[in-house]
Amino acid sequence: MPAQDADPVQERLDAISKALASLSRRLSDVEARLNSMGEPAAMPPPPPPWPAPPGFPQTGAQGVPQEQAMPGAPPPVDEMPGGQPPQGRAAQPAPAAADLVESAFGLSWLNRIGVITLVLGVAFLFKYAIDNEWIGPWTRVAIGVMAGLAALLAAGRLHRAGHRIFSMGITALGICILYVSCYAAYGFYQLAPVAVSFAAMALVTAAGAWLALRYDAAPIAVLSLTGGFLTPLVLSTGRDAPWILFPYLLLLIAGSVWVRRARGWAIAEWLALLAGAAIYMAWFAEHFEASKRAAAAFFPLCAYVLFSFSPSRAVRRMAHVGAGLSFAFVFRPDPALLFAALLPLAAAGLLRNMTAAAALGFWLPYWIHAGAPGAGEDFWTCFAGVASGFVFLHGWELWELQPEDSSSDWTIPMVYAANSVAWYASSYALLEPERHAWTGAMTFLAAALLAGSAWVARRATTMALLSGVLAVAYFTLGIPIQFGAWRVSVAWILEAVALAFLASRFQAHLPHWLAAAVLLLGIGHAAVVDARLPVERIFVNTRFFVMSWAALGCWISASLLRPRMLAAAAYLTGHALMLGGLELEILGQVQRTAAPEDVRSASIVAFSLVLAFYGFALVALGVARRARFDRVMGLIALSLVIVKLYLFDVWQLGRLFRSTAFVGLGLLLVSASYLYSRHRARLAKWIG
């Protein structure tokens, strides 16, 4: 650039820079002045408005006349979809409760009652015209169709004019008239074949659904679906056509599911679910036979697939269980086909996170199938089928188990336990009574499987404990199934000791209570059943062995059980069992050897002496073990003998037996006193 041209440009740039600097200084001065100013003074209130002359409209706060309702004006806020005011218009205050009731009754209920009344009035007038033969059949049908179309056109104009709720009633009136007209063309006058009337009513259903979506009106959708499901019923000729009926019903179901997802109309979906199930059951009761299994299975399977897209979890569950129940009747009496349908259905339910529905949809259909007359008796197919269902559901729950499961939702544990019980009950019913020899082995197998599941679920406390409880229950149940007589008591006592040993390795109290419960079963069986066993030799017999085994099991369990109450109860019960076993042996020997006239007196003396001897043994044991509990029990036993001797035995026994009782008891009491005297210092030290 030449030098003579550079000077003017530079001068202009300098001028612009000076102007910007001047503007910046002025802006800073203005901001400083504004910050230094105080709050502005309050404006005086405006003068009250002059009263309006008579005949002039009242004005609002700003002197603007209040809004008047004009013909063709947009609808008020309460008639706008969603209740939102239009753009550019301020929200109106909420109406009072009385205004809401008045609006609901005057706008909605009067409209509905008026539509019903109008339909009845037109029907009565139409009937009167028919009775007097004013119009012929073709004219009647044509008038009905034109009246229905006219009602729909009028409803459209009313909706565009802002009368939304009122137009819904007129739309419903038009749909009803069209339904009646299409049915009358076939059902009353035979003017059209059934296929034409069916197509016309289906077209009315589709039109009603389209209008419901256009007007955003759920009642119109419900009316259209109701008419759609009633169409095959009112046009039925008695001829079975499942491959026409079921696709038509599936089309209605698909529409209802789509409407639920698009507009959130739950009532339409529930209507489709219940109406579809009702029509299917009616068809099944009247037309089903073995040759129509394909069609009978096609509808519930496709309906389940359609309802699986529903956003409602309850609808999906009901559709799942309903499909399983339908398979129970469709595939009867063939169990192979039933399991071939139920197992994939259970898999689909599990993949959709519907564990409870998957279990119920498997076991309930099987029980219906197995309990129905004429059900298949293929043992191996049924046994393998129920085992497959159990393993599938059980394995899935273990696979999906979350570690450290502390959720308050008990659905999964309940389904877990119910699935196990359902499998065992079904297998037991298959095995009994023809295959009883396998029942015990199957029970122990179930216990082993649940014990392994407890180890797999060891990181989830709830499921691990539940698996352990089920394993103990099955093992305990398998013992009386597999064994008999006194072996049941021996096995239960041994199981209780093993459980007490395992419980001592856990912090939770539930395993200890389980061990105590099994121990109580063994004690009860030994005391009630095995105590009645006949014996011939003293001490060398099965009865004394069982009683001694039970007492030993109680003592070992008492050393392992953690709650002191359980331990004390087990220890005391062990001594009671041992004392009872000794009494039974001595009294039995007395009855076998004593003279008949001396049996009663000898039994009384023997009972007292055995009790006194056992009390002395407990005192000696307590001194040796430094166990105050044993010494107290021994003293209590000796006290009971003293009371019994002085209050009962002395009046019941003869002189010889009375002397024997007093001498024997006296020796035992003196011996016990000697123990206390000899170990007086030790006892004082232990007690202190």
3-state secondary structure of 484: coil
Q: Alpha-carbon distance 161 to 73, whole Å?
A: 8
Q: Does this model's pTM top 0.85?
A: no
- pLDDT per residue over 376-389, tens digit each? 568 899 999 999 99
Residue 221 included in any domain: yes
* 17 pLDDT more than 80: no
Q: Are 292 and 280 in contact (CB under 8 A)?
A: no
* 116 pLDDT more than 90: no
Residue 329: name the closest of 302, 278, 279, 364 by CA: 364
* 45 pLDDT more than 60: no
In degrees and rounded to multiples of 5, residue 408 shows phi and psi of -85, 0
Residue 684: its pLDDT value, please? 55
- pLDDT per residue over 279-309, tens digit each? 999 999 999 998 999 999 999 999 999 999 9
**For residue 65, what are the β-bridge partners?**
59
Residue 337 included in any domain: no
- 120 or 458, which is more confident: 458
> Which stretch of 118-122, 254-258, 411-415 has the lowest confidence by average pLDDT?
118-122
Residue 458: its pLDDT value, please? 84
- Please state the domain count of the chain: 2
Residue 184 included in any domain: yes
Gyration radius (Cα) of the chain, Å:
46
- pLDDT per residue over 357-369, tens digit each? 999 999 999 999 8
Supply the DSSP symbol for 74: P
Q: Are 212 and 218 in contact (CB under 8 A)?
A: yes
Q: In the listed set 237, 258, 280, which residue is the last one of a domain according to the structure?
A: 237
Residue 433: its pLDDT value, please? 85
- pLDDT per residue over 597-645, tens digit each? 888 888 888 888 898 889 889 988 888 888 888 888 988 988 888 887 7
Residue 453: its pLDDT value, please? 93
- pLDDT per residue over 60-105, tens digit each? 444 444 444 434 444 443 444 444 444 444 444 555 554 444 444 4
Q: Alpha-carbon distance 30 to 37, whole Å?
A: 11
Q: Which amino acid is at 13?
A: L
- pLDDT per residue over 143-170, tens digit each? 778 878 888 888 888 778 777 777 777 7
* 109 pLDDT more than 60: no
- pLDDT per residue over 306-316, tens digit each? 999 999 999 99
* 126 pLDDT more than 70: no
Q: Alpha-carbon distance 60 to 58, whole Å?
A: 7
Residue 71 included in any domain: no
- 33 or 566, which is more confident: 566
In degrees and rounded to multiples of 5, residue 65 shows phi and psi of -60, 145
Give the tokens for residue 154.
């009028």
> Rounded mean pLDDT of the chain?
80
- pLDDT per residue over 182-224, tens digit each? 777 766 667 778 778 788 888 888 888 898 888 888 888 898 8
**For residue 59, what are the β-bridge partners?**
65
For 636, the domain range is 595-688
**For residue 271, what are the β-bridge partners?**
none
Q: In the listed set 237, 258, 293, which residue is the last one of a domain according to the structure?
A: 237
Contacts of 643 (CB under 8 A, 6+ apart): none
- pLDDT per residue over 334-346, tens digit each? 899 999 999 999 9
Residue 188 included in any domain: yes
Residue 59: its pLDDT value, please? 43
What number is the average pLDDT over the span 494-515? 90
What number is the average pLDDT over the span 225-240? 84
Tell me the torsion sign for CA atoms 570, 572, 573, 579.
Answer: positive
Residue 688 included in any domain: yes
What number is the average pLDDT over the span 463-471? 91
Residue 607 included in any domain: yes
3-state secondary structure of 59: strand
Q: In the listed set 197, 222, 237, which residue is the last one of a domain according to the structure?
A: 237
Residue 34 included in any domain: no
Residue 180: its pLDDT value, please? 76
Q: Up-side HSE of residue 348: CA atoms within 13 Å toward CB?
A: 20
Residue 188: its pLDDT value, please? 64
What number is the average pLDDT over the span 556-579? 93
Residue 559: its pLDDT value, please? 93
Q: Are 245 and 287 in contact (CB under 8 A)?
A: no
